[in-house]
Amino acid sequence: MKKILVISLILVSILSYAQGDQSNFGIKAGTTYGKFIPEENSTEFQYLLGFYAGGFYDFKIEEQWRFQPELLFALQGSKITSRDNAITDINGNRLPGTSTFNFQYELYELTISIPLIVKLYLSEKFYLESGPQFGFIIDRNVTSSQVLLDGNDNSFVNKGNGNFDFGVGIGAGYDISQNISLNFRAYNGLVKRNGGFKSLVFNLGIEYSL
């Protein structure tokens, strides 16, 4: 709750400062391609497709610099393969004479993201961008095409934990027209979640200035 209050106060201060002719609201949407890092001996992570959508407020700071706070809803996560799992009885004891198996599943996280992005225009249309990003995870869902036997121990399935994420985004964009921009961004999480793992997410999408 304190994190949300602090971020809200920062955004209100920014919007109060930024009122002017060289500011505008907009909407954006696109695709995410992410996974968890780093891997460990018994767990492998693979990229998972998702999406994001939301809005932004963009305003000029200096001649080549602009500031763009955003509010996004994103569905992202990771494919996860848990290797060498034992076949067990209902008490978690390994059944004699059985071999191990690999189990693959997807962990999706529905996240409210708040990137605070600074843009540097290197030309009239091309820019680089970077800034911190806050994330609030409001829901999780685990899916798999495999089915575990009734009573088999499923403690190896990472169902996620922790509702707060924080990291840094860096990217680039190109203004196709006065209202439309193509944007690419990479996000690297700095907060350890989900059993000690962090998020790595690539975004590709379109921005439309209203």
Q: Which residue, 180, 181, 200, 182, is CA-closest to 190?
A: 200
Please report which confidence band the pLDDT of residue 3 belongs to, taking 50, 70 and 90 as the band edges: low
Ranges of each domain in the chain:
2-209
Tokens representing 107? 């962990």
Q: Which CATH number fits domain 2-209: 3.40.50.460, 3.40.50.1370, 3.90.1260.10, 2.40.160.20?
A: 2.40.160.20
CB 119 within 8 A of CB 65: yes
pLDDT in tens, 139-190: 999 888 877 766 666 666 776 778 899 999 999 999 999 999 999 999 999 9
CB 165 within 8 A of CB 137: yes
Please report which confidence band the pLDDT of residue 103 belongs to, taking 50, 70 and 90 as the band edges: confident
